Amino acid sequence: MEIIDSHTHWGPSVSMGTEVTTEELLRQAEQSNVSRIVIFPFPSMALSDEGINERLLEEANRVKKFIPYYYIPETMKPIPDGKGFLGGKWHWMRGIQDSSSNYQALEDPKLGEFIEASEKIDLPIVFEEELSFTEAFVRKTKHLKIIIPHLGMLGGNPIDFLHTFKARENVYFDTALASPDTVMRFIENIGHERVLFGSDIPFGTMKWEFEKILSLPISDDKKEWILSKNLKRLIGWT
């Protein structure tokens, strides 16, 4: 069974004073038999130095296990097409990091251009904002592939996210840091096809998050979709 971690950080964090190294990600991948790893920069690093996107891409070109995601800057520059990025990360755009959304970003004229360009590029975006901000953003989209991390846990109540986006088939969720019971509730309501395995290193570990998926009372076929097939479909590898 192939395993792809859909949510890890790579590189230094300015705000935390720490760094996730290539060696640490590969060590954890070997421990849990993870074959590929989605990486994106820490928000504080990306906001202080947009060049981290290029360095991350260079590292992904060097380390074939890595799947590079582009950190979307405050200018709302979309994922550069044709450069090798396979997804994006949108994180509290102009808001208070890990705390509060800035709803003025929803009124920015550039937002419509960003969504239009992103839908043409057709790559997934890990989207982390408060529930009401996320709902307003999703209403502006047609078929943009959105992955809500932690089942929405950092933006509100996961069950509220579940009910809000149950009918939106372009909205997906990753399992990082969520409880097994909550993961099962999502699977039972929206199906295993919209749920992705993620560890959120350094805040979680691949081993713990992988074993959480293995422990779920679902078939091995459904686990395989969560562990790799859904992500491969979203980035165009199927």
Work out the pLDDT band at 98, boundaries 50, 70, 90.
confident
Q: How many domains does the chain have?
A: 1
CA distance 108 to 120: 20
Tokens encoding 137:
């953003």
CATH of the domain at 42: 3.20.20.140
CA distance 224 to 231: 11
Contact yes or no for 185/165 (Cβ under 8 A): no
pLDDT digits (tens, 9 = 90+) for 17-33: 999 999 999 999 999 99
What is the extent of the structural domain holding 187? 4-234
In DSSP notation, 46-106 reads HHH-TTHHHHHHHHHHHSTTEEE-EEPPTT-PPPPTTSS---EEEESTTSBTTTB--GGGG
pLDDT digits (tens, 9 = 90+) for 170-205: 999 999 999 999 999 999 999 999 999 999 999 999
> Taking 90 as the threshold, does the pLDDT of residue 238 lie above it?
no
Q: What's the confidence (pLDDT) of residue 197?
A: 98
Q: What is the DSSP letter of 137?
A: H
Q: What is the DSSP letter of 18?
A: E
Please name which of 138, 137, 200 lies closest in space to residue 166, comparing C-alpha atoms.
138
